[in-house]
Amino acid sequence: MCLKCGYVKAAIAIAVVASLIVGWMAWSQAADESQLIPAASADAPKAAGSLQTAVLAGGCFWGVQGVYQHVRGVSNVLSGYSGGDAVTAKYDLVGRGRTGHAEAVQVVFDPAEISYGEVLQIFFSVAHDPTQLNFQGPDQGPQYRSAIFYEGEEQKHIATAYIAQLEKAKVFNDPIVTRVDALKAFYPAEDYHQDYLVNNPGNPYIEFNDLPKISELKRWLPGFYRETPLTVKTASAR
C-alpha cells in the first residue's frame, strides 16, 4: 500500500472541499447583497387586457420559478427551456451545456396588476445576479446564463432600455451580461421540476440558494409579495 499516494489523495480531496466551501461562502455573501433596483423608466402602462407572458433565464429554474410564484399579479409560472430546439429540450441534454437552451421560466401575468417592467425589476433585484456570465452561483455553463427572451418589439424595447438605464446608473458593481434575445419557443420542463422549491423546501440547495430570494422579495418589494405561493397545480385548477 502506498501511504504517500494516500496522503496525496487526501490532501487533494481536502483542497477540493476547501475550494468548494470558499465558493459557496462567496455565493452566500453575494446573495446577501441583493438590492432593490430602480423601476424601469420605460415601461408599459398597467391596463386591463389579456394575460401576458415573460420568459426569463437566471440560473437554475427552481429558484426563479419560486420567486415569481410569490408575486402578486402572476397567474402561472412554469420552469422550462428556451434558446434551442424542441428535440433537445430535455434536462439531461440541456445540462451538458451544448444545446443552446437556457433553463428559463415562463411567467404569465395580469398587465392590470403588474407591468412587464415590474416583472423585470423583480428579475434584476432578487431573482438572480445579472452580472454573472454563463453561470449563476454554484451552477456553471451557458445553460445557466442570464437572458430575457422577448415577445414583440415592446418587450424588446422595455428590456433593452432598462438594462441601459441600470448600466448608466451603475447600479451593479460589474457590467450587466443579460442577453436580450427574441423568443423562438418555450418548452416546459419535466413534471418533477415544476414547483420544485415549493415541494422541496428542505433541500439543502434550495435552503442555501433559493429561499433567501423569497425573503429578499418580501423585504425589498413587499407590495408585490404574496405569502402563499401560486403553484402549477393551483394555477391549472383556476
**Domain residue extents for the chain:** 1-32, 36-236
CA pair distance 66, 69, nearest whole angstrom = 5
* Beta bridge pairs of residue 81: 103, 187
Pairing of strands 52-58, 179-182: unpaired
pLDDT at 233: 79
What is the set of active-site residues? 60
Q: Is the pLDDT of residue 230 over 80?
A: yes
Instruction: Outline where 148-207 has alpha helix (H).
Output: 152-168, 196-199, 204-205
* Chain centroid offset of residue 154 CA: 22
pLDDT at 57: 98
Helix%, strand%, coil% for the chain, nearest 5? 45, 15, 35
106-123 residue pLDDT tens: 999 999 999 999 999 999
123-161 residue pLDDT tens: 999 999 999 999 999 999 999 999 999 999 999 999 999
pTM: 0.86
Looking at the structure, give the CATH architecture of the domain made up of residues 36-236. 2-Layer Sandwich (3.30)
